Amino acid sequence: MTRGDSDWEGVRLHIVTGKGGTGKTTVAGALALALAASGQTVLLCEVEGRQGIARLFDAPNRTYDEHRIAAVPDENATAGEVYGLAIDPEAALAEYLEMYYRMGRAVRALDKVGAIDFATTIAPGVRDVLLTGKVYEAVRRKEKKRTHGRVYDAVVLDAPPTGRIARFLGVNAGVADIARVGPIRRQADSIMTMMRAPQTVVHLVTLLEEMPVQETADGIAELREAKIPVGAVVVNLAEQSPLDAKALAAAAGGSLPRSDFTSALRETGLSADDETVTGLLTDAREHAVRVELENELRAQVTALGRPTYELPRLTDGVDLGALFELSHALTAQGMA
């Protein structure tokens, strides 16, 4: 396989968002594999506690640790590796207090009065601060020699949906409004600096359906307003058509010749009755209407002015093999 240059050379943190149901986790997984195929050591993080990474990579559910979920072969050697991490806010808080303040004892005291529970589940926002804080720590390991654990070339974050992304990533700006001084303020400021750095990009996953495309456009506008760099738009589950443009137009307009179908069905020994022919023509029309709509939406996606990559719908769903297939498609289109 020939490998072109990546469009995102030098990017250290790839954040993947998208409207719910568009396949963010799948795209994040495929991107992580594609980056590993170019020889990088990649950390794939999730923050919503759904163990989506484990399921996608057919790996056992893991508690809070970084573990290898895939090795991408290159000839007989390993090109790169993907590590997975499901970030748990409670564990992240304990780790944070220990790492920066050596306050293991305080964690127990805080837990006893309900402060940990308050911070991770009740106090809105704190959870997001802890989740983004852990991502920040993983990205920054490379620069900071004082590190715990493995150093990664790139981090891919399977982020919350587009509707919440600007709020999620900008949560530290909100913290900065509350905490005017102190270590939390300093931490929040450094996280915001990283989120807005050119080494960070937010990719948006969409389907060729109106609402996801609209949400993608809105998400881009919100990210720009929050001064967070916008990456690519990844079009997922695009319909593949066995029909050419002319046949599609005829199918949509209901002008495919019935006689052609009748003789084709007869020739293959299928029943050529009216019901069958009408049924097939209905299938063709519904498909053609869908493809027409997708083409219009594809034009809208192009008009957003961001680099765009497209992944096909795989009839049998996504397993680990399919994920590799999708990662090759991303590499071929220059995303990694």
Partner 1 sequence: MTRRKKTVDGLHGLEIDALLDDRTVEIVVCCGSGGVGKTTTAAALGVRAAERGRQVVVLTIDPARRLAQAMGLPELDDTPRRVEGIDTKRGGHLDAMMLDMKRTFDQVVLATTSPEKAKVILENPFYVALSSSFAGTQEYMAMEKLGQLHADALADGRYDLIIVDTPPSRSALDFLDAPKRLSSFLDSRLLRLLSAPARGPIKVFSAGMGLVTGTLTKLLGAQVLTDIQTFVSALDTTFGGFRARSERTYALLQEDRTAFLVVAAPEPDALREAAYFVERLRDERMPLTGMVLNRMTSPAATHVSAERSLSAAEALTESGKHPVAAAVLRLHGERMRRAVREHHLAERFASAHPGVSVAGVPALSSDVHDLDGLREIGARLSGE
Query: Which of 2, 63, 76, 315 touches partner 1 by CB under 8 A?
Result: 315
Pick the closer one to partner 1 by CB: 307 or 312: 312
Nearer to partner 1, 71 or 99 (CB): 99
- The span from the CA of 218 to the CA of 201, in Å, is 16
Q: How far is the CB of 225 from partner 1 (least distance, A)?
A: 13
Stretch (H or E) spanning 16:
strand 13-18
Binding mask 265-304 for partner 1 (x = CB under 8 A): x-xxxxx---xx-xxxxxxx-xx-xx--x-----------
Between 2 and 268, CB nearer to partner 1: 268
- What is the x/- site pattern for partner 1, positions 22-41, by CB under 8 A? x-------------------
Q: Which stretch binds partner 1 (CB under 8 A): 31-39, 133-141, 148-156, 240-248?
A: 240-248
Please, what is the minimum distance in Å from the beta carbon of residue 6 to partner 1?
Answer: 28
Name the pairing type of β-strands 308-312 and 200-206. unpaired
Interface with partner 1 includes 8 (CB under 8 A)? no
Minimum CB separation of residue 170 from partner 1 in Å reads 8
- Which token pair is 273? 């009755």
Distance CA 309, CA 134 (A): 29
Going by C-alpha positions, the residue among 122, 67, 63, 69 that lies closest to residue 95 is: 63
Chain centroid offset of residue 227 CA:
20
List phi, psi (to 5°) of 224.
Answer: -60, -40
* Assigned token pair, 55: 């399921």
| Pair of tokens at residue 311 | 């992944």
Interactions with partner 1, residue window 93-122 (CB under 8 A):
97, 101, 103, 105-106, 109-110, 112-115, 117-118, 121-122
Nearer to partner 1, 3 or 266 (CB): 266
d(CA 80, CA 30): 13
Cβ distance to partner 1 smaller for residue 95 or 128: 128
Q: How far apart are CA 128 and CA 138, in angstroms?
A: 16
Q: How many residues interact with partner 1 (rule CB under 8 A)? A: 87
Interface residues for partner 1 in 167-226 (CB under 8 A)? Answer: 167-168, 170-171, 174-175, 177-185, 209-212, 214-215
Four-point Cα dihedral 89, 323, 216, 125, nearest 10: 0
- Which of the ranges 44-52, 58-66, 67-75, 191-199 carries the binding residues for partner 1, by CB under 8 A? 44-52
* Residue of 91, 197, 247, 322 that binds partner 1 (CB under 8 A): 247
Contact 83, 107 (CB under 8 A): no
Q: Does residue number 20 form part of the binding site for partner 1 (CB under 8 A)?
A: yes
* CA 84/CA 29 separation, integer angstroms: 10
Crossing angle of the two packed helices 274-303 and 245-252, in degrees rounded to 10: 120
Give SS3 for 7: coil
| Residues of span 64-93 touching partner 1 by CB under 8 A | none
Q: Does 260 bind partner 1 (CB under 8 A)?
A: yes
